[in-house]
Amino acid sequence: MAMDMNIATISLLLLLASTAYVAQSADFDVMSYGAKPDADIAQALTSAWKEACAASGSSKVLIPEGTYKSSSVTLEGPCKGPIEVQLDGTLQAPADPSQIKGDGWVVFLRVEDFTLSGSGTLDGQGATSWKTNNCGPNIDCSLYATSLRLDYITNGVVQGITSKDAKSFHINVFGCKNLTIEHVTVTAPETSHNTDGIHIGRSSGIIVTDTTIGTGDDCISLGDGSQDVTIERVKCGPGHGISIGSLGKYKNEEPVSQIKVLDCTITGTTNGVRIKTWPASVGASTASDITFKGITMDNVANPVIIDQGYCPYGQCKAQIPSTIKISNVVIDDIQGTSATPETVQIICSKGVPCEDVKVSNIDLTYKGSKGTAKTVCENVKPTVTGTQNPPLCPDL
């Protein structure tokens, strides 16, 4: 009898503990905090976030279906437990870029165990900004606000959402650890200036997978300090391709390493996969352990390019070699069509030539009117295996 009572008591305690845990999980719907369709919900979103962030256990902020306006908003941790924002509606940024404070429109800052999910859209309403957002020729130009900033996120997931018509970058990842971006859509016209799809900097353990990006700049760009980054099954185009760099423009840049770009499809872009560093680099850093593998190119200009003389608009001293050391690069299984005769270009620095570059199984065809397909190599002695169409730098 005593044993039966003990078992019953233990079962009751376990049930109560389970019930208490469930009770700690809560939803915080922005409509309960005063949000209304076609009105600015920044204050309601902030209030819902603060209560969710302060709650014990798991919590979720809900933005239901509908169209809402939002001024700039920063949602900051640390939070007491795991937290999720489920975006099922459309958030519209102010059309006037001057109405957004700071360098981010929607910012998540210093959050651990974070999820941003849903079928909704961040609409940057950038069409009126692109004509005045062309920073290319102006070295002192300041970019407009990024649509979604993820700063110092640890153990995070972004999934399902769409970023549309950003004024500047769509998604910026900075100072993050262990963050996955999956099943995300990024869309803006080819004419939208400086609208990188996803930019990653000074972050590690980053995965971008099963994502579709079409925009007016790099589909994905990786800045200094990007380490242990995997980009897999991404569809890119239009845009400028998937880029590492540019590197070497600023002081105290951190090394880039352990980058994998795998099984991606790139269509109609101005570059395919590339590494770009500035000549006359400020300081010396490195880019190493980089793999481009299983990439399909469809009418892509410059399908594969390492450019250590990257100097747009004459903004540098091009005659001074880059000091960024590039090493241990694998370029494997690249197939499809090129929009330019130069299918593979490995143009390394004469000051610090590239080392340990392996090229295998390249099959890229060019059917244009500007000559025959060719490759270019400078300051590099690559290891070449497998198919090479066209032949890789036969004069080496």
CA angle 274, 279, 285 (to 5 degrees): 75
Q: Identify the helix (H) or strand (E) that includes residue 54.
A: helix 42-54
Q: What is the CA radius of gyration of the chain?
A: 24
Question: What residues are paired with 208 via a beta bridge?
Answer: 181, 231
Q: Are 306 and 331 in contact (CB under 8 A)?
A: no
Burial of 188 (0-12, 13-18, 19+ CB in 10 A): buried
Distances (CA, A) of 305 to 51, 310, 346, 376: 49, 11, 6, 9
- Return the HEC string of 209-269: EEEEEECCCCCEEECCCCEEEEEEEEEECCCCCEEEEEECCCCCCCCEEEEEEECCEEECC
Query: Phi and psi of 52, rounded to 5°?
Result: -65, -40
* CB count in 10 Å sphere of residue 261: 25
Q: Are 307 and 275 in contact (CB under 8 A)?
A: yes
Q: Which residue has the tokens 């032949």?
A: 391
Would you name the residues annotated as active-site residues? 240
Question: What residues are paired with 40 via a beta bridge?
Answer: 69
Q: Which residue has the tokens 């971008």?
A: 208
